[in-house]
Amino acid sequence: MPFYSRKPEPVRRGPDRTTRSPGTVSGTVGVHRIPGPLRTLSALPGLDYADHFALPTEATATPERWARALFGDIPSPAERFIWRGLLGLRLSGGRSPDTVAGWRIAGRGEDWIRLEATSWFLDCTLVVRSPRGQLSLGTFLHYRRPPGRAIWRPLSAVHRRLAPGLLRDAEARMRASAHCGEPNAAGR
């Protein structure tokens, strides 16, 4: 069940992705609305929050390149404020082949990569998928202690408003790097 009272804009709700126009981000919010195979990629012991946003794209890249296009190699000041300051996530510092924006790369497959970070009150997983013709971002949380729910509830509304723009911006960076012949769209 979603933890909010109003729908984010301009996200479409529900699993139907056949009626989208190119560039339209679709979104699904709620643990039981996310397809089981995608929930399984989160690898969390229990889910208290889940959302999934998807964007059709003709750009192709590995899931790790997409994750770096979404978040960069190191967190921006705004990301640090939200992730470390408000959520208390323990992120690694500096650039590393084992992290994306400070999040530990915890798993990967042919068309997905899982990033993990924890704090004393919640566990968080981001799953970036890049099946043919699509880029998607799934966010999964498990509340370890009561402050997790209290803190994430207002932040989740901000997150749902920002996620579609993250996908569009990453896709634009990836297209731009392809036109410039750059081997990687990682940096911001």
Enumerate domains of the chain plus CATH numbers.
24-178 (3.30.530)
Q: What is the pLDDT of residues 139-182, one digit of tens each?
A: 999 999 999 999 999 999 999 999 999 999 999 999 888 766 55
User: 12: which 2 tokens?
Assistant: 């479409």
Work out the mean pLDDT of the chain and round it to a whole number.
85
Q: What is the pLDDT of residues 8-47, one digit of tens each?
A: 334 333 333 333 445 799 999 999 999 988 999 999 989 9
Whole-prediction pTM:
0.83
